[in-house]
Amino acid sequence: MERLKKDPQYVELKPDAHQVIELKYATEDNFTGTDLYGPFKECYLQKVAADKYKNAVKNLQKTHPGWKFIIYDALRPRSVQWRLWEKVKGTSQQKYVADPEKGSNHNYGLALDIGLVDDKGQIVDMGAPFDGFTPISEPKREAEMLKAGKLTREQLGHRLILRKAMTEAGFTQLAHEWWHYDALPMSQIRGKFQIVG
């Protein structure tokens, strides 16, 4: 991963006044219970994604001054993708992890897993935790979950704050993970960007 530091196409995101970096797969606090990243602890994005993210930061500050993003994952080496895949393959959670044979947008540095921290420093309640691979996590089922009382209006409102900041910056929301945003569709990525092993 040393090459990323020297590659001008990659931007490292660091903690600052507008973001908290908490790479969950670089800790044991994730659905696998394992530190999957080992010595790789930096948060990188392709420049095109980093530029969009800067606009998302501005969008959030306009609507919610003092709030921050919390980044749970950004560039994810494909070697880690394989380990995630082995955990979910053949289970009900398989649809939440991209097949490493094809690659995830994360493997190109063109996706973010992201949440919000309020102006008091508290993580904002989205109704389901990051990598909580259950139907309540799925944006496409929010109306159903709200009607069933499994998601509150406040929790949905928080998701919409995040969604507005990200989508107005040019990101696309993944239909089955409230936290996942793509900078570009996979059709525009293949052949133009290099996957990170």
The letter for the amino acid at 3 is R
Per the CB < 8 A criterion, the answer to whether 43 and 12 are in contact is yes
Q: How far apart are CA 75 and CA 102, in angstroms?
A: 16
The single residue of 42, 138, 142, 177 carrying the catalytic annotation is 177
For every residue of 106-170, DSSP letters joined together read GGGT-EEEEEEE-TTSPBPP-SS-TT--SGGG-GGGHHHHHHTTSS-HHHHHHHHHHHHHHHTTT
144 noted as active-site residue: no
* Active-site annotation, residues: 177
